[in-house]
């Protein structure tokens, strides 16, 4: 991986980040935003490892 690939990667949007941002953008108040941030921090958008 060369330097230009690293730079491009830094500016490329991550689909998971886009989903989180869209979820946070739907908040209707500061309290709702804070609740949503806690949910994201607790792993709401992390893949589940159920294996089936």
Q: Which pLDDT tens digit goes with each residue over 1-52?
A: 688 888 877 777 778 888 999 999 999 999 999 999 999 999 888 877 666 6
- As given in the structure block, the two tokens for residue 17 are 């980040």
* Cα 39 from Cα 51, distance rounded (Å): 23
* Cα 6 from Cα 8, distance rounded (Å): 5
Q: Which pLDDT tens digit goes with each residue over 39-48?
A: 999 988 887 7
pLDDT for position 20? 92
pLDDT for position 7? 81
């Amino acid at each position: 991986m060369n330097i230009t690939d690293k730079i491009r990667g830094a500016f490329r949007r991550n689909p998971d980040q886009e989903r989180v941002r869209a979820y946070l953008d739907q908040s209707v108040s500061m309290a709702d935003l804070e609740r949503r941030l806690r949910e994201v921090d607790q792993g709401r958008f992390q893949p589940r490892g159920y294996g089936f």
